[in-house]
Structure 1
């Protein structure tokens, strides 16, 4: 099953749509890099470890449309598939996730469509991440196109777990044996505990550092 492109104009439209999504990703990525640089300048700290971005493949788009009962057309793709353009922001600590989300919300040209907080409310599998669906204007020569981008924000530990879950789901086509699924849930619990301990340790380090600076200033 392929995306329906019946005329040369449809092929041109497909190329343009992909260009628009790629451009939206570039704009979001640049914004995040600037915000990270600014944070380093002001607070001497980088909340973002690294950024990954991708445009969904035609095969993945068709699979998602079929799953939800939609015909595989360019129009349906744009209207009903929200994660064609996806960007993943990896940070060190859970507190960074909400700080980054707030910085994104404060951007005047970014409109937040929806939020799914899988950190407060993890999936049954144990999956944790913070998802934002946003639109950002892409400026073409003859018009402005508000383009959807899905942003996932998670810690390094959450990303490691999610990567393993993805591989398992791919190998077992979503039907992994019970003992493997149970082990994944247990690993997710351990990841959450690790994130909490690392955050607590970092906060203690910051307090000690600030205390030593205060003492030096008094002396």
Structure 2
């Protein structure tokens, strides 16, 4: 928990002494360190699954993995926006997306397969699942969000850390990237015709996902004919 002195330093950092600022920096660093380790734990588990599939199945369902931990500025801004006290314990309980992992899969079936394999591991606790693939958002956004709790083993023992993992297909990720850039460009005041275009594009992406998966299944099930032996 942040001490009253630490909270005062947030508001009046310029008047703090060097030792106080160093203590504040160290306190924040320790707070974010746990989330970096939590991300590393999840990423390692996913890397193991990816390598196993490549070696055993000859097919890799995970196209790419990206990770991030919010900056302390982003954490404090979101906590303030949600009415959470600027107290590290309160922030830890109130925010579930400080640590994030994004997993981009080839196909929708791969998303559900990897989610099931990851969440069934004994040391992972599933806190929340939001399936925007089965039930897309009104704007067409599709993704599967899972908030996990994973143990991080420190010198003082194991500590549970929350990590939000987003699972998408390549098409969903492309659409989400374009939507994010559009809203950033227009500072959230996006013209209606562009919103309608993005919604239509989401449907097109979903149709592409379904079509490509059907083609993939046909390719995977194909067996070349046995060679003809001349007598």
Larger Rg belongs to: 2
Residue 208 (structure 1) aligns with: 222
Contact 2:67 2:100 survives alignment (8 Å): yes
Give 1:13 deviation, angstroms: 2.3
- State how far apart, in whole Å, the 2-side matches of 1:30 and 1:38 are: 12
- Unaligned 5+ residue runs, structure 2? 1-5, 10-19
Residue 34 (structure 1) aligns with: 48
Q: Structure 1 171/75 Cα, relative in aligned 2: closer, same or farther at 3 Å?
A: farther
Give 1:10 deviation, angstroms: 4.2
Q: Structure 1 76/22 Cα, relative in aligned 2: closer, same or farther at 3 Å?
A: same
The answer as to 2:216 corresponding to 1:195 is: no
- State how far apart, in whole Å, the 2-side matches of 1:184 and 1:34 are: 35
- State how far apart, in whole Å, the 1-side matches of 2:8 and 2:208 are: 49
Contact 2:28 2:72 survives alignment (8 Å): no
The answer as to 2:156 corresponding to 1:142 is: yes
Give 1:9 deviation, angstroms: 4.3
Q: Which one of the candidate residues 63, 66, 75 is aligned to 1:61?
A: 75
- State how far apart, in whole Å, the 1-side matches of 2:48 and 2:154 are: 23
TM-score by length of 1: 0.90
Give deviations 1:41-85, integer Å, cap 9, x for gaps: 221110101100000122322232122122333222211110000
Say which is worse superposed, 141-150 or 56-65, in terms of deviation: 56-65
Residue 181 (structure 1) aligns with: 195
State how many pairs are aligned: 212
Give deviations 1:189-213, integer Å, cap 9, x for gaps: 110000000001101111223xx3x
TM-score by length of 2: 0.86
